[in-house]
Amino acid sequence: MLEGVRSVRPRRACCQGCGATHVLSPAWSIPRRRDGAEVIGAALALAAGGAGHRQIACQLGRPPGTVRGWLRAARRRAESLRASATRWTYALDPEFGAVMPAGSELGDAVEAIMLAVRAWVLRAGREQVGAWERAVCLTGGLLAGRPPLPP
Protein backbone atom coordinates (compact mmCIF):
# COMPACT_ATOMS: atom_id res chain seq x y z
CA MET A 1 0.00 0.00 0.00
CA LEU A 2 1.29 3.47 -0.84
CA GLU A 3 2.33 5.69 2.00
CA GLY A 4 -0.38 8.23 2.81
CA VAL A 5 -3.14 6.19 1.15
CA ARG A 6 -6.00 5.36 3.46
CA SER A 7 -8.67 2.78 2.89
CA VAL A 8 -12.19 4.14 2.56
CA ARG A 9 -15.44 2.35 3.19
CA PRO A 10 -18.04 4.87 2.05
CA ARG A 11 -21.06 5.43 4.26
CA ARG A 12 -24.43 6.63 3.08
CA ALA A 13 -26.94 8.97 4.64
CA CYS A 14 -30.52 9.78 3.73
CA CYS A 15 -31.09 13.47 2.94
CA GLN A 16 -34.00 15.03 4.84
CA GLY A 17 -34.54 17.58 2.07
CA CYS A 18 -34.68 15.42 -1.06
CA GLY A 19 -35.10 11.92 0.36
CA ALA A 20 -32.17 10.56 -1.67
CA THR A 21 -29.15 8.83 -0.22
CA HIS A 22 -25.73 10.42 -0.51
CA VAL A 23 -22.23 9.04 -0.05
CA LEU A 24 -20.38 10.59 2.89
CA SER A 25 -16.63 11.07 2.41
CA PRO A 26 -13.97 11.94 4.99
CA ALA A 27 -12.43 15.43 4.76
CA TRP A 28 -9.06 14.11 3.52
CA SER A 29 -10.71 12.38 0.56
CA ILE A 30 -10.82 14.08 -2.83
CA PRO A 31 -13.60 12.80 -5.09
CA ARG A 32 -12.42 10.33 -7.74
CA ARG A 33 -8.81 10.42 -6.50
CA ARG A 34 -6.91 7.66 -4.74
CA ASP A 35 -4.52 9.92 -2.86
CA GLY A 36 -5.51 12.17 0.00
CA ALA A 37 -5.75 15.92 0.21
CA GLU A 38 -2.36 16.50 1.83
CA VAL A 39 -0.49 14.58 -0.91
CA ILE A 40 -2.32 16.25 -3.78
CA GLY A 41 -2.10 19.63 -2.05
CA ALA A 42 1.66 19.21 -1.69
CA ALA A 43 1.85 18.52 -5.44
CA LEU A 44 -0.17 21.65 -6.21
CA ALA A 45 2.04 23.78 -3.96
CA LEU A 46 5.20 22.40 -5.60
CA ALA A 47 3.77 23.02 -9.08
CA ALA A 48 2.80 26.57 -8.09
CA GLY A 49 6.42 27.02 -7.07
CA GLY A 50 7.60 26.01 -10.54
CA ALA A 51 8.31 22.27 -10.20
CA GLY A 52 7.38 19.98 -13.09
CA HIS A 53 5.17 16.91 -12.82
CA ARG A 54 8.06 14.43 -13.08
CA GLN A 55 10.03 16.13 -10.32
CA ILE A 56 6.90 16.28 -8.10
CA ALA A 57 6.11 12.61 -8.83
CA CYS A 58 9.62 11.59 -7.82
CA GLN A 59 9.47 13.67 -4.65
CA LEU A 60 6.04 12.31 -3.61
CA GLY A 61 6.61 8.73 -4.76
CA ARG A 62 3.69 8.76 -7.20
CA PRO A 63 3.52 7.88 -10.90
CA PRO A 64 4.21 10.86 -13.21
CA GLY A 65 0.95 10.30 -15.10
CA THR A 66 -1.03 10.54 -11.87
CA VAL A 67 0.63 13.80 -10.86
CA ARG A 68 0.20 15.19 -14.37
CA GLY A 69 -3.54 14.42 -14.10
CA TRP A 70 -3.81 16.26 -10.77
CA LEU A 71 -2.03 19.29 -12.18
CA ARG A 72 -4.13 19.36 -15.34
CA ALA A 73 -7.34 19.18 -13.32
CA ALA A 74 -6.15 21.93 -10.97
CA ARG A 75 -5.07 24.16 -13.85
CA ARG A 76 -8.46 23.72 -15.55
CA ARG A 77 -10.19 24.83 -12.33
CA ALA A 78 -7.59 27.37 -11.20
CA GLU A 79 -9.67 30.48 -11.84
CA SER A 80 -12.83 29.13 -10.17
CA LEU A 81 -10.77 27.83 -7.23
CA ARG A 82 -9.08 31.21 -6.83
CA ALA A 83 -12.38 33.08 -7.00
CA SER A 84 -14.11 30.75 -4.54
CA ALA A 85 -11.19 30.81 -2.09
CA THR A 86 -10.96 34.60 -2.27
CA ARG A 87 -14.67 34.92 -1.51
CA TRP A 88 -14.25 32.54 1.44
CA THR A 89 -11.29 34.56 2.71
CA TYR A 90 -13.27 37.81 2.74
CA ALA A 91 -16.39 36.11 4.16
CA LEU A 92 -14.33 34.76 7.07
CA ASP A 93 -12.19 37.88 7.51
CA PRO A 94 -13.89 41.01 6.07
CA GLU A 95 -10.91 43.18 7.02
CA PHE A 96 -8.43 41.09 5.06
CA GLY A 97 -6.11 43.15 2.86
CA ALA A 98 -5.21 42.80 -0.79
CA VAL A 99 -4.12 39.48 -2.28
CA MET A 100 -0.85 39.69 -4.19
CA PRO A 101 -0.58 37.78 -7.50
CA ALA A 102 1.65 34.71 -7.40
CA GLY A 103 2.62 34.79 -11.08
CA SER A 104 0.48 31.99 -12.55
CA GLU A 105 -3.15 30.94 -12.43
CA LEU A 106 -2.29 27.83 -10.42
CA GLY A 107 -0.03 29.86 -8.12
CA ASP A 108 -2.80 32.40 -7.56
CA ALA A 109 -5.28 29.60 -6.81
CA VAL A 110 -2.96 27.88 -4.31
CA GLU A 111 -2.22 31.23 -2.60
CA ALA A 112 -5.92 32.07 -2.37
CA ILE A 113 -6.76 28.61 -0.99
CA MET A 114 -4.11 28.88 1.71
CA LEU A 115 -5.36 32.38 2.63
CA ALA A 116 -8.91 31.00 2.95
CA VAL A 117 -7.63 28.18 5.17
CA ARG A 118 -5.74 30.72 7.29
CA ALA A 119 -8.89 32.86 7.61
CA TRP A 120 -10.82 29.75 8.67
CA VAL A 121 -8.27 28.93 11.37
CA LEU A 122 -8.31 32.52 12.64
CA ARG A 123 -12.12 32.46 12.80
CA ALA A 124 -12.76 28.92 14.06
CA GLY A 125 -9.51 28.05 15.82
CA ARG A 126 -7.10 25.19 15.23
CA GLU A 127 -8.52 21.78 14.48
CA GLN A 128 -7.13 18.30 13.98
CA VAL A 129 -7.62 18.82 10.23
CA GLY A 130 -4.72 19.53 7.89
CA ALA A 131 -4.63 22.66 5.75
CA TRP A 132 -5.37 20.78 2.53
CA GLU A 133 -8.18 18.82 4.19
CA ARG A 134 -9.82 22.13 5.08
CA ALA A 135 -9.14 23.33 1.53
CA VAL A 136 -11.11 20.34 0.21
CA CYS A 137 -14.09 21.39 2.34
CA LEU A 138 -13.87 25.04 1.29
CA THR A 139 -13.47 24.30 -2.43
CA GLY A 140 -15.96 21.47 -2.79
CA GLY A 141 -13.40 18.80 -3.62
CA LEU A 142 -10.37 20.75 -4.84
CA LEU A 143 -10.03 19.04 -8.23
CA ALA A 144 -13.63 18.21 -9.10
CA GLY A 145 -17.06 19.77 -9.02
CA ARG A 146 -18.11 23.36 -8.64
CA PRO A 147 -16.52 25.34 -5.79
CA PRO A 148 -19.12 26.39 -3.23
CA LEU A 149 -19.73 30.03 -2.40
CA PRO A 150 -19.50 31.24 1.17
CA PRO A 151 -22.72 31.63 3.14
Reduced to 3 states, what is the DSSP secondary structure of residue 46? Answer: helix
Q: Domain residues of the chain, as ranges?
A: 33-139
- Res 49: pLDDT: 93
User: How many angstroms separate the Cα of 133 from the Cα of each of 25, 44, 57, 62, 74?
Assistant: 12, 13, 20, 19, 16
Reduced to 3 states, what is the DSSP secondary structure of residue 51? Answer: coil
Question: For 94-101, what is the mean pLDDT?
Answer: 85
* pLDDT level of residue 97 (50, 70, 90 thresholds): confident
- Res 6: pLDDT: 53
What type of residue sits at position 91? A
What type of residue sits at position 121? V
| 102 in Cβ contact with 121 (< 8 Å) | no
pLDDT tens sequence across 28-65: 677 667 788 889 999 999 999 999 999 999 999 999 99
Give yes or no for residue 22 having a pLDDT over 70: yes
d(CA 139, CA 142): 5
d(CA 104, CA 119): 22
d(CA 145, CA 76): 12
pLDDT tens sequence across 114-125: 999 999 999 988
| 96 in Cβ contact with 122 (< 8 Å) | no
- Res 3: pLDDT: 53
d(CA 13, CA 5): 24
β pairing state of 21-24 and 11-14: antiparallel
Our CA angle for 72, 145, 142, nearest 5°, is: 60
